[in-house]
Structure 1
């Protein structure tokens, strides 16, 4: 829920703070005062595309900073923490800056973040319903999106299951088509992989074989030096072969041990025992040295074989190893076998992939049928709820119908057999959804963007948006002058519907209708100010008296009109009574 938003140098707003609270916040002001910039500031704060033309002329940058209360364990807080930001208990601070040159910067929880992070947070915190929604609803797919949104989380699972099945089917189609395409590039790739595998399989390198060869080559190439090392060590232990005295380390240890043992002193006896243990270890070492020396070879033939093998492995490593050793060659071979299996265009492989494609198509068709059935059921519920809203908005003689039909198949594009019909398929399913407006029982209906006047379309859009809002999980909903072209009793009903919606959401409404403004829990006014030939706007939260003045101005054009003032007071009193009755 939004607490406060500060806007600086955005359009005509030089520096203003917009306070928010729970319930219904109404934003009013004269034409050109900057009400649109309030909505623009909110959307920028939550990641909307920026434009340098939004920056006040002569300013270096436009800035928007907002404070909102979020669930510390919810998705918005989690996304902020993932991006490196922090929360102050349950408060999250977001900021956006757009320079006059067009550069954009964003922060979340005190940390500089990509603008996309603000958009991710905004998905669960803010939605904007505006006059642009009327145009958007006429675009292909937009009416289907309305129906899917109405279905909520349960319907989203059915939609996701279809999308995953459709994606798997198309992946299988592409894999098979790639193999069936006998292009030179694939053939070259197959030939190179097979050539490399044949080289490696002929050489048959073994794990760590290069290290073992290096060790053996070192022993063979240094046989004389190793024999000398062994002889020197053995002589030091046992004494030189030609010596007749006890000059080796073994003999000297024995002499030392006997001398200590003959002393008859307990402490020296202990040392004598330790020397005896050393003597045992020394004789073991002497034995191992003897065995190692006997195994030293300087076989030049064996050395030549090893050097040839080393050169063979080195060539493999140079050609196929990314890590510079035999392990890299073996890894390349394993990957090459996997790639060959993927590129294998044999009849058996093609037959297997064709079967996989057909199975995937069957699963996608079943998921499409389930999605169509769910949409058809939802359509009946949606049109019923919209028509109930229209009756409350002085459109009781008109009705909408939500039609779900099968999308015709188009040659060259994906198609699925759903039931007995071949239907055109894409990521959204095999359905076409149209919302029609009919006037009277005998009217078959026309598309709502063609069958409604401007005022009717505004009320229909509001009815749709109020119905959708009931399934929308976002905390804050912004309605930007969706009441254009409406007046009288219908305007009161619009205020009543928005007030009812504000019991479950924080609702912000930009309006020019006093009947809507009368239902406000918080009323904010944007005023134009001229200074030095420059027009700027200020934002102020209205108290009870100022609010009465503003509604009087909206009704009569003058804030001091006695009749307008009485009418404004009557509107506010009636709205308060409405809200009290609804809260019971």
Structure 2
């Protein structure tokens, strides 16, 4: 909901602040006073194109800002957060600066953003229905979105989108397999050959490091033997085959025996125990060193070890840098071979899966199409009823929902077939809003078959029916209402039809914020708030001012709109009109 619109130096408006009502607000004033500048300001903060020619004379820049109340979970709030501009206390500030020369600047909650971001955020906050804004509804995408919103087919839409995404995923796999079948076979052959080569060598984690250590021992066998022999001779000479020599173990044993021969109670028992523990450790060392001499590999083993190291080195150079990397690559390659195997059997299985998913998507699309068709018939009828009360008797809106899958064909997968598909991301329908402006006229696409005023009233009828549906469903309860702005909606309307037009705008304002630019007192009288745009003279020449009128001032403005004067008769008529312009 628009809480405040501020304008500076935009066209004839030097400075203005508009605080529209939560319900219906009327913007009135004499022709040429500058009411269009208010719409220009709305379009600017909605990301529309900037026109430096709209900057006020002698001003360096024009500026406009809209303050909107927004629900925390609204699409506009989410779009703002994605742009890094979180709502502040449930409000969004959309601003635009247009210099007299140079590029415009868009600001969202104090953060500079591309104007496309303003457009995305504003799309969920405000909708302008004016002659230059109706082309949006002429697009089939907008018409489909509007119909889905009225249809309330969220469950059918979600079911179809899930089926569509699953279908496109398997189509992508099929397309890749069929397009790259030859190259994938080559890749699979390479992987299989590589796996076979690695398996022939059968590397074990850390094996190369162990072999290099063994090779080092063989290459240094003499030095190792000499050192180990010297150590054994010092520790236990008998282990070296010399029964007469005495080593450290023998001498420690002798020392233990000498200490235990002392008969003084407990004096050297602890020391003897410690020496025996040391002797046990030395015996273990002797045993280990003896095995080193006994198990020492021969020089003949060196060729086999070098050969194995070379084999492992070839693997690590290609798939390393370590044997663990080689083994991991082999295991992953085995899985990749399964995915790359484009055998006829696998392709046939995938095609069968694709056919099953296509049938599921088609069933979901038909359910969605049925919901749309039912909503289209209801919407067309209700809009026709509203048009009859809006000075457009005989006009009609036909909403055609044409399924593309009448023959139930199942095309092959692939981008080349996309143009002939009965399905797309939105279902199996072609949707068209066709307007008949008068009896006997052919049905013509919206946007090319009516004047600006007719289109505005047509959009009012559409929004009224949509609002009825939203109110009936309870959608948006407690959330700030959407803002609808109508321009030229009263073109070609008068008398009783003007009263009905005002009544319907007031009805829409029960569920949405409505701002209408109007020349008709019969329309303005229904508003909850009325602002007058007028030319004011001053020291700086003629400028345009915007002020809210209430009470007697509003009666005078309504009287002026009725008869161009403020006579007692016109004032009495104005008071009567204001009193009668109330919804039951």
Q: CA deviation at 1:308?
A: 1.0
The equivalences for 1:183-332 within 5 A come to: 187-204=182-199, 209=204, 211-214=206-209, 216-218=211-213, 220-221=215-216, 286=285, 290=289, 299-317=301-319, 325-326=325-326, 329-330=329-330
Q: What's the TM-score, normalizing by structure 2?
A: 0.73
Q: CA deviation at 1:463?
A: 1.0
Q: 1:141 to 1:75 in 2, by over 3 A?
A: closer
Q: 1:364 aligns with which of 361, 373, 379?
A: 361
Q: Which has the larger radius of gyration?
A: 2
Partner of 2:485: 479
Whether the aligned pair in 1 keeps the contact of 2:316 and 2:322 (CA below 8 Å) is no
Partner of 2:128: 128
In 2, Cα distance between equivalents of 1:190 and 1:91: 59
The equivalences for 1:42-53 within 5 A come to: 42-46=42-46, 48-51=47-50, 53=52
In 2, Cα distance between equivalents of 1:518 and 1:281: 113
Residue aligned with 2:532, SS: strand
In 2, Cα distance between equivalents of 1:113 and 1:42: 17
Whether the aligned pair in 2 keeps the contact of 1:227 and 1:293 (CA below 8 Å) is no
The equivalences for 1:418-497 within 5 A come to: 424-435=422-433, 446-447=443-444, 449=446, 455-471=453-469, 473=476, 475-481=481-487, 482-497=489-504
Q: 2:551 aligns with which of 544, 548, 551?
A: 544
Residue 375 (str. 1) matches residue 381 (str. 2): no
Q: 1:402 to 1:187 in 2, by over 3 A?
A: closer
In 2, Cα distance between equivalents of 1:522 and 1:424: 50
In 2, Cα distance between equivalents of 1:280 and 1:509: 108
Residue 56 (str. 1) matches residue 55 (str. 2): yes
Deviates more, 1:231-240 or 1:84-93: 231-240
In 2, Cα distance between equivalents of 1:307 and 1:322: 13
Q: 1:390 aligns with which of 363, 387, 390?
A: 387
Partner of 1:419: none
In 2, Cα distance between equivalents of 1:528 and 1:313: 88
Q: CA deviation at 1:215?
A: 5.3
Whether the aligned pair in 1 keeps the contact of 2:161 and 2:426 (CA below 8 Å) is yes
In 1, Cα distance between equivalents of 2:125 and 2:88: 17
Q: CA RMSD in A?
A: 5.2
Partner of 1:572: 578
How many residue pairs get aligned? The number is 549
Q: 1:120 to 1:453 in 2, by over 3 A?
A: closer
What per-residue deviation string (whole Å, max 9, x for no partner) do you get for residues 386-432 of structure 1? 2332343244555544443444889x99799xxxxx99443333334
Q: CA deviation at 1:317?
A: 2.6
Q: CA deviation at 1:381?
A: 1.8
Whether the aligned pair in 2 keeps the contact of 1:322 and 1:328 (CA below 8 Å) is no
Q: 1:484 to 1:145 in 2, by over 3 A?
A: farther
Residue aligned with 1:366, SS: helix
Q: CA deviation at 1:494?
A: 1.7
Structure 2 spans left out of the alignment, 5+ residues: 238-244, 414-419, 471-475
Whether the aligned pair in 1 keeps the contact of 2:464 and 2:507 (CA below 8 Å) is no
